[in-house]
A = this chain, B = another copy of it.
Amino acid sequence: MSAPPSAPASAAALPADSLLELRELTRRFARARDWEQFHTPKNLAMALSVEVAELAEHFQWLATGADAELDAPAREGIRQELADVLLYLVQLADQCQVDLRQAALEKIALNGEKYPAEVVRGDARKSDRY
């Protein structure tokens, strides 16, 4: 038996892959609030950098940000800010028609050529210094 015609759009099955699933969920979220008008690539890029700063704020006075330096509220804050960054990133990529997974895989390959393991081992200097 097929799904009843009255099934709301938001009940449609979600993609199995996490990045595609989040893309679909953020689309529905923005559409339901009529927020698509604000989500220009430029505004999303700006919102993304604001969220990244809120994330960085948790680490700014710490020595390294390692677990032992963080209390429970900080850890929960970090978790939520990481989520915010991902959600804006997914939306910005969506507006720019970029397949995030594909772009990331290509970038890893590119970085592999730019920073050959045997040359840069243990050295974090930028490649343009070589």
Contact = CB atoms under 8 A, between A and B. Distances in A.
Interface of A: 16-22, 25-26, 29, 32-35, 37-38, 40-43, 45-50, 52-67, 75, 78-80, 82-87, 89, 92-93, 96-98, 100-101, 103-108, 110-112, 115, 117, 120-122, 124-125
Given A56-B49, A59-B42, A86-B89, A107 B122 contact: no
A25 B96 contact: no
Contacts of A45: 46, 52, 55-56, 58-59, 65
A60 B115 CA distance: 18
Given A59-B42, A61-B43, A65-B42, A79 B103 contact: yes
A interface SS class:
helix
